[in-house]
Chains A and B, each alone.
Chain A
Amino acid sequence: MISFILQHAPALCLATPLLFAFLTPLADKAGSRVRKAFVFLGILLTALTVFTLAQNVILQGARVYTMGASSPALTLPSGMTLPVRIILEIDAFSALMASLALLVAFFAVVYSFRFMKGNSLGKFYSLFFVMLAGLIGLVFTGDLFTLFVFFEILSISSVALVAYWYKRKKSVEAAFKYLLISSVASLCLLFSIGLLYGEYGLLNIAALAASMRLSFVTMVALGLLLAAFSMKAGAAPMHYWLPDAYGEAPTPITVMLGIATLSSLYALLRVLFTLFGSFSLLPVAGWVLICLGVVSMFVGVTMALKQDDIKRLIAYTAVSQAGFIFVGVGVGLATINSPALFSAFGENALKGGLFHLVNHGIYEALLFFSAGAVIYATGKRRLSSLSGLARKMPFTTVFFLVGAMAIAGIPPMNGFASKILIYESVYRFNPLLTVLALVVSVLTAVPFVKAFSSAFLGPEMAEFKKTKEVPMGMLLGMAVLAVIAVLFGLLPGLVVETIIAPAVNALASQAAYVGVVL
């Protein structure tokens, strides 16, 4: 049984959330208790499968799964040198992303049991599972067109969830913007898939990577892919949908949107490092990423300074933190063609970027959870109308503080560990970038000092007399994420060695990715 599950784990990881998504509307008919138990079972099963697979992949190397073949390992049909079926390919980087997504999604579900009220929750959870399947499919697929399909699944389900509170004007408006941006992004993606198909007659990422040549059409395809994914990853010029969608979505969905944004970043990296990994023009793409990153860092942090809405404030700082990831990864990409530079500092920059990606996923979720707890307890989201909550909600206060320290890069937290890795390696590439990053990091602390002092410190207001700490279910997720944030900060070496380094190796060695399929 175990070996059967392990053998089919890649397909099961995808199929389980879809199965539960389709059945949740039926379970909903049996009442809210049945629905809760059903949803919990679904997320638990998915999480177990994904963690088992991820552990297997990190220990034993990349896995492939051929959909519909007579055996999952049979990537090439007899007599062919090219794959014809859809192939799922899971390497250490995909496993890392999927585990991060499931960690956050699990606690988002537990959180939502108390947070979400209303009578359309069957559809809510059904869409939640669809979104989860989209995330897993996006990071697991080894086929460009399947990537597009799961990209669309992810964006359509998350648009519907952003507009969940359809009676609020702003939610619908944010959902419209988000849908517009994601549709344009996915149509750009589809057009570039068409260009690549016209040029090479292939759809599999590994097979395409092996036959890639430099030509104008390929360059345009690269440009379109870069535009599409960086649009969805919330990079600076097209970031404006992000705070709207994050701010207006129900909090469990905001957290999932954070992961969705990171998985668009995953797709971008997958495309740049793996699909175009043999290009001599990669340093240019690396510099594009660095520029996007620097602009995002500054735009995000300056906009965050003047926000009054607690969730929008966190969302803008999330834009600026994504900039750090872009810079770290961009430096890695810019040096990947010269082995000497890459082993000197490029690899460390890439490690820093990916480590920051994981840390960002964790502390961002923590911050949104605690902001959601404040909104849940008080019903208010404007910082100017909040005050003195520290005594009423001590746990939430501590968790928010942990998250704020992590995002500002203050020592014992995980944000510091990954930022220091980025600073060190980027300094050897270009000192100016490190200076800019340091300035932004210091600036990031300012909005959080403001938010913390105005919401949690200060005089207690009469209207919050009856405010209580949020229920256990909501605190649980925050507690676990806060512990992880501190642990990652205290043991950065161990974490980088065990989970980040395999992901970096998987990303940097295109030949290994191609070799598993061909």
Chain B
Amino acid sequence: MSGLSKIVKNVASVFIVPGLIFGAYVVAHGHLTPGGGFQGGTIIATTLALLLVAFGEKSFRKAIGKNALAMLESLALFGFIGIAFLGLQSSFFNNFLSNSGSLFGQSVQFGVNEGNINSAGVIPLMNFMVGIEVASGLTIIVIAMYSGWGERK
């Protein structure tokens, strides 16, 4: 399996960068616009699935290691629950960064506004973690269903 025809490969390589950027955009603006970690992560995973189908399994695995994906998933989840742990000063899952003035800490008044990306406290961080987790997790599922997850013979 060395991938599909040259046309498909070229089209896929045209799509890959905008796809990843769009996914990252959706993840990063989860607290301002419709979207968030799950949606953006799914977009990234879809782009990676396109890559897998177009270029075939071998070249895909050369570019993105299996272990790296699994590690990334675990670490992202660890980051997610770690952020939740950091709120333990008041309670688990407390949004300790919002309205604090530090990172993502600018406060927002009630009402319609233009949107400020430097707001919402831990929400963008959690979105980021969930985005990585969903992207790597769904890619693992796609690879496992496409060609198995075990050692290759």
- Physical contact A–B (CB less than 8 Å): yes
B91 CB to nearest chain A CB (Å): 5
A182 CB to nearest chain B CB (Å): 19
CA distance A168 to B78 in the complex (A): 33
CA distance A23 to B74 in the complex (A): 6
Contact B81 A15 (CB under 8 A): yes
CA distance A321 to B92 in the complex (A): 39
CA distance A4 to B70 in the complex (A): 34
B70 CB to nearest chain A CB (Å): 6
Q: Which residues of chain B from 17 to 37 have a CB within 8 Å of any chain A CB?
A: none
Instruction: For A70, list chain B residues within 8 Å (CB).
Output: 90-91, 94
CA distance A68 to B75 in the complex (A): 22
* Interface assignment of A11: CB less than 8 Å from any CB of chain B: yes
Instruction: For B87, list chain A residues within 8 Å (CB).
Output: 68
* Interface assignment of A8: CB less than 8 Å from any CB of chain B: yes
Instruction: For B142, list chain A residues within 8 Å (CB).
Output: none
Q: Which of A12, A15, A68, A71 is the most central at the interface, judged by chain B CB atoms within 10 Å of its CB?
A: A68
CA distance A29 to B65 in the complex (A): 15
- Main DSSP-derived SS at the B contact region: helix
Q: Which of A12, A22, A66 is the most central at the interface, judged by chain B CB atoms within 10 Å of its CB?
A: A22
Contact A8 B94 (CB under 8 A): no
Instruction: For A25, list chain B residues within 8 Å (CB).
Output: 70-71, 74
Contact A68 B91 (CB under 8 A): yes
Q: Which residues of chain B from 57 to 94 have a CB within 8 Å of any chain A CB?
A: 67, 70-71, 74-75, 77-78, 81, 84-85, 87-88, 90-94
Instruction: For A161, list chain B residues within 8 Å (CB).
Output: none
Instruction: For A69, list chain B residues within 8 Å (CB).
Output: 90-91, 94
A30 CB to nearest chain B CB (Å): 12
Contact A18 B94 (CB under 8 A): no
Instruction: For B94, list chain A residues within 8 Å (CB).
Output: 68-70
Are A71 and B91 CB-contacts (below 8 A) given A15-B85, A26-B71?
yes
* Interface assignment of A452: CB less than 8 Å from any CB of chain B: no
CA distance A12 to B84 in the complex (A): 11
A301 CB to nearest chain B CB (Å): 42
* Interface assignment of B106: CB less than 8 Å from any CB of chain A: no
A128 CB to nearest chain B CB (Å): 15
* Interface assignment of B95: CB less than 8 Å from any CB of chain A: yes
* Interface assignment of A115: CB less than 8 Å from any CB of chain B: no
Name the one of B67, B70, B85, B91 contacting A65, with C-beta atoms under 8 angstroms: B91
By beta carbon, the residue of chain B nearest A69 is B91
* Interface assignment of A283: CB less than 8 Å from any CB of chain B: no
CA distance A29 to B91 in the complex (A): 33
CA distance A232 to B48 in the complex (A): 37
Contact A23 B84 (CB under 8 A): no
Contact B81 A8 (CB under 8 A): no
* Interface assignment of A473: CB less than 8 Å from any CB of chain B: no
A-B contact pairs, 10 of them (CB 8 A): A11-B91, A15-B85, A25-B70, A25-B71, A66-B91, A68-B93, A69-B94, A70-B91, A71-B90, A72-B90
The 10 closest A-B pairs by CB, nearest first: A11-B92, A68-B93, A22-B77, A72-B91, A67-B93, A25-B74, A70-B90, A22-B78, A68-B94, A22-B74
